[in-house]
Chain A
């Protein structure tokens, strides 16, 4: 907000309205202090990948959310503010390890993620399904019906579909490896193209 009187406003022209170097310095200091005092509940960053820009968010327990650009990162952050905590800051360093492993995956040098995961955004049967997905190895696929059987509820095929569609950790928890019984890919949170890209990447020897 500026002074209504332009003569008075001119008095403060020496005080920059936007001082980006200072803000960058102060933001970094805030992240560090918040981390030391244990009040940074959610750290996030974005990462450019062959399937678009991913939003990565972590709590102290581990990676809590992966979101594709089509899921609207701003909306996802607002949801995290409600479901986890509004104490959310951009803190790329907290996600260095996650980013490195995802980069390695897309470079074909990693077939398995070794990351602490925070499962709090999925509960009950959906969580059971997602945990089972981690057992489907790189380059393999299962049908929704096979996953339902493996999760102990062979008739819950639709529920498996819902669990995959609402997977809070796509890519890292490989719901892209679940396909239709007829062999077609089926839906995906990141869009059909993203699912094809991941399946093609993993099919490459």
Chain B
């Protein structure tokens, strides 16, 4: 079995991207921390032939839900206006504009997009995680990406100009 340190080095950055895309800059690091602490505890029992990436994304999926629920219970009101970029986390970490458009997607689409395009999970496994069929997961990812292409300005676009 590989030392857990190697799991963190190899897969930590991917899980952080997924957490950032699913829960946003403010809660991403909490979700990552909960994911890897939970993974460390369970690691000795992981079967030798397990797909480590899929295993980590499964844990991250559950922890992201927990973290968002806990955040919703916090007394601090969360800015709900999609027009204002959520830069409440660490603004240097990544572009708040991307989170603004990701956040506007239905949860199902945002997760399907993150798990497929950032974690490389097949649609069948995304369906096992999120419920529904593989085809439904494929459609959710495709719909999500289509919306992102129309709402997220590409780096060459002028800020504030929306492509149609």
| A interface, CB within 8 angstroms of B | 1-3, 7-19, 22-23, 25-27, 29-30, 33-34, 37, 39-40, 42, 44, 77-78, 80-82, 85-90
From the candidates A8, A26, A85, name the one contacting B16 in the complex (CB within 8 A): A26
With contacts A33-B37, A82-B1, A86-B43 taken as known, whether A14 is within 8 angstroms of B16 at the C-beta atoms is no
Among listed B60-68, B92-100, B129-137, interface-contacting one: B92-100
Residue of A nearest to B12 (CB): A23
* A39 and B1 contact, CB distance less than 8 A: no
Chain B residues, Cβ within 8 Å of A29: 29, 33
Of residues 109 through 127 on chain B, the ones whose CB sits less than 8 Å from some CB of chain A are 117-120
Chain B residues in 8 Å Cβ range of A11:
98, 117, 145, 148-149, 152
Cα separation A19 to B93 with both chains bound (whole Å): 8
- Flag if B13 contacts A19 (CB, 8 Å): yes
Q: In the bound complex, do residue B17 and residue A26 qualify as a contact, i.e. CB atoms below 8 Å apart?
A: no
CB-contact partner of A19 in B1, B16, B41, B149, under 8 A: B16
Contact present for A25 and B2 (CB under 8 Å): no
Within the complex, which residue of B4, B13, B120 is in contact with A88, where a contact is CB–CB below 8 Å? B4
Number of interface residues of B (CB under 8 A): 39
B interface list, Cβ under 8 A from A:
1-6, 8, 12-14, 16-17, 20-21, 29, 32-33, 36-37, 40-41, 43-44, 90, 93-95, 97-98, 117-120, 145, 148-149, 152, 154-155
Is B44 touching A14 in the complex (CB atoms < 8 A)? no
Closest residue on chain B to residue A1 by CB atoms: B120
